[in-house]
Amino acid sequence: MDKIVIEGGRRLEGKVRINGAKNAALPIMAACLLLHGPSRIKGIPDIVDIRTQIRILENLGGEIRYLEDGSLEIIFRDGENKEKVTAPYDLVRKMRASVCVLGPLLSKRGNAKVSYPGGCVIGQRPIDLHLKGLSALGSSIETKEGYVIASANKLRGTRISLKGQYGTTVLGTCNVMTAAVLAEGTTIIDDAACEPEVQDLAHFLNKAGAKISGIGSNALTIEGVKELHGIDYEIIPDRIEAGTFMIAGAITRGEITLENVREDHLAATIEKLREIGVEITTNGNYTTVKSNNDYQPANITTMPYPGLPTDMQAQFMALLCTVSGKSVITEGIFPDRFIHSAELRRMGADIQVDVPYATINGTPFLSGAHVMVSDLRAGAGLVLAGLVAKGTTHIHRIYHLDRGYEQLEKRLSQLGANITRVQE
Ligand code: EPU
């Protein structure tokens, strides 16, 4: 197993290019099951979650390869591999997002057998809303031996609300949308997620021949069509990767320019960073983060889009640990998503957690320590803390980071960080 070792204290400077969004790529790749013929998708990041999704789709009969220009070609052919409907436990357990093959499989092959994704360290993560939506479209669903087994002779349009205890559901909206595009009649999804990644999936499907309107709002209308065809498509830039690099610039009091950024997708993150005192300027596809030493503490609440993303919470926590004064974080999506706070405490942070709140009293400095990554974004928060900590930080279990950030240590090192990957 590898670990990351960081000698903190370097000011980061330079330029970094942001990759395509992992959370847009995963459901779009699954949606290729619905399309007849080849699709070529640009901007797919080279990360472990994408490799897992490729294996899942290959198991389902997909022909997948990288082309010379770096795009990923995915081919499913109508009428072939009808019997292949299983997403097995050993792949689904590696990545919960594999559950997004459920809607396309049901729609295209009439059956789906997908390992039930369990809870994880960021919380319970049920899929009841996914199943409620698919049932409303006419699917029968049972859970057997750890698998969701769904079948439908014909899916029919209907009106569905995806409102749950913590708002709507991102992948649930993707599943219901992908099941509805080929259903008979019109489907209205109320309380749909409108995250940029969900919008990207809808744009992808429309380009392939679907009729989805209301994109970007909380009510999607989907008129069923008879067939969808393969297309060329470019994934949106990853707003969480961009936000993570912005905080890398801010926390090291450096100056970084990010290329390939959609500023509109980052509005809440940028607004909060400016409130803290980080200077951010944008120029078309480029965003520059410039810092000073005069940061203010802040109160943060994570919310569904366009609110501040929960996937930026750990990174903001790391930053606020270095800002003198009291900050409060309210986790509005996954109330238990605070495991990283215990690791940050090992580095000298002063954080009290009383779910769903974390109160942070900024300390003059963090110090290097051995810390353990519990999930992808927690890992990003720990790397950011390590960049500014005095001394050496050893970050263990970095396979979580490899799931979602392409060559993170290499790109940070190109910006001037003293960071290396070491075999344990
Ligand atoms: N929820 C339910 N029932 C459901 C589904 C969700 O109660 O059927 C609850 C969840 O427990 C949570 C809330 O609703 O409290 C929102 O969960 P959501 O379903 O939106 O999360 P997700 O679709 O499983 C995606 C991202 C996560 C991101 C969340 C929230 C992907 C692959 N994953 O997960 O990203 O945190 O939306 O924005 O798109 C990450 O990239 O590190 C990551 C965890």
For the Cβ of 374 lying below 6 angstroms from any atom of ligand 1, the answer is no
> Which tokens hold the place of 195?
């995250």
DSSP letter (8 states) at residue 199: H
**Phi, psi at residue 258, to the nearest 5°?**
-105, 135
User: Rounded CA gap, 384 and 250, in Å?
Assistant: 10
74 and 136: one domain? yes
Question: Which of 19, 22, 23, 197 is the pocket-test mutation for ligand 1 (most atoms within 8 Å of CB)?
Answer: 23
In Å, the largest CA–CA distance within the chain is 64
Is the CB of 172 inside a 6 Å radius of any atom of ligand 1?
yes
Query: Where a domain ends, among 234, 259, 291?
Result: 234
Q: pTM score > 0.85 for this model?
A: yes
- The per-residue pLDDT for 121 is 79
Residues spanned by the domain of 360: 2-19+237-423
- Give Cα separations from 391 to 8, 346, 386 (angstroms): 6, 13, 9
Q: Which of 100, 120, 194, 321 is catalytic?
A: 120
Sign of CA dihedral 303, 307, 311, 313: negative
**Are 48 and 104 in the same domain?**
yes
Q: What is the pLDDT of residue 119?
A: 60
What CATH number is given to the structural domain containing 159?
3.65.10.10
Q: Ligand 1 mean position to 310 CA, how many Å?
A: 9
Residue ID of nearest Cα to ligand 1 atom 39 = 23
DSSP character for 361?
A: E
Which pLDDT score, from 0 to 100, does residue 293 have? Answer: 74
Shared domain check, 243 and 98: no
User: Using CA atoms, how far apart are residues 398 and 379, in angstroms rounded to an integer?
Assistant: 7
The backbone torsions φ and ψ at residue 201, rounded to the nearest 5 degrees and listed phi first, read -60, -45
Radius of gyration of the chain (CA): 21
Catalytic residue check, 120: yes
Check residue 31 and report its DSSP letter: H
Q: Return the closest-CA partner of residue 289 out of 265, 264, 263, 311.
A: 263
Shared domain for 299 and 320, answered yes or no, is yes
Same domain for 73 and 180: yes
The domain boundary, picked from 234, 260, 284, lies at 234
Do 162 and 261 belong together in one domain?
Answer: no
User: Under 8 Å CB-to-CB from 236, ≥6 apart: which residues?
Assistant: 20, 21, 24, 43, 196, 197, 200, 262, 265
Q: Can you give 368-420 as a three-state secondary structure string?
A: CCEEECCCHHHHHHHHHHHHHCECEEEEECCHHHHHHCCCHHHHHHHCCCEEE
User: Which residue type does 280 have?
Assistant: I
pLDDT in tens, the chain (424 residues): 899 999 999 999 999 999 999 999 999 999 999 999 999 999 999 999 999 999 999 999 999 999 999 999 999 998 889 999 999 999 998 888 899 999 999 999 999 999 988 667 787 788 999 999 999 999 999 999 999 999 999 999 999 999 998 899 999 999 999 999 999 999 999 999 999 999 999 999 999 999 999 999 999 999 999 999 999 999 999 999 999 999 999 999 999 999 999 999 999 999 999 999 999 999 988 999 998 778 999 999 999 999 999 999 999 999 999 999 999 999 999 999 999 999 999 999 999 999 999 999 999 899 999 999 999 999 999 999 999 999 999 999 999 999 999 999 999 999 999 999 999 8
Q: For the chain, what is the domain count?
A: 2
DSSP secondary structure string for all residues of 67-95: -TTSPEEEEE-TTSSTT--EE-HHHHTT-
Residue-level pLDDT at 93 = 87
Q: Please give the pLDDT value at position 118.
A: 65
Q: Is the CB of 116 under 6 A from ligand 1?
A: no
Are residues 220 and 290 located together in one domain of the fold? no
Instruction: Verify that 169 and 284 share a domain, yes or no.
Output: no
Q: Are residues 218 and 334 in the same domain?
A: no
Residues 253 and 230 in one domain: no
Domain shared by 263 and 198, yes or no = no
Structure tokens at 37: 């013929």
Q: Which residues, including other chains, have CB under 8 Å from residue 74's CB and lie 6 or more apart? A: 29, 32, 38, 39, 41, 57, 62, 63, 64
* Cα 55 to averaged position of ligand 1 atoms, centre (Å): 22
CB 256 within 8 A of CB 15: yes
| 324 and 407 in a common domain | yes
Q: Which of 176, 200, 234 is the last residue of a domain?
A: 234
Best substitution site from 120, 122, 170, 198 to test ligand 1's pocket, by max atoms within 8 Å of Cβ? 170
CB of residue 125 inside a 6 A radius of ligand 1: yes
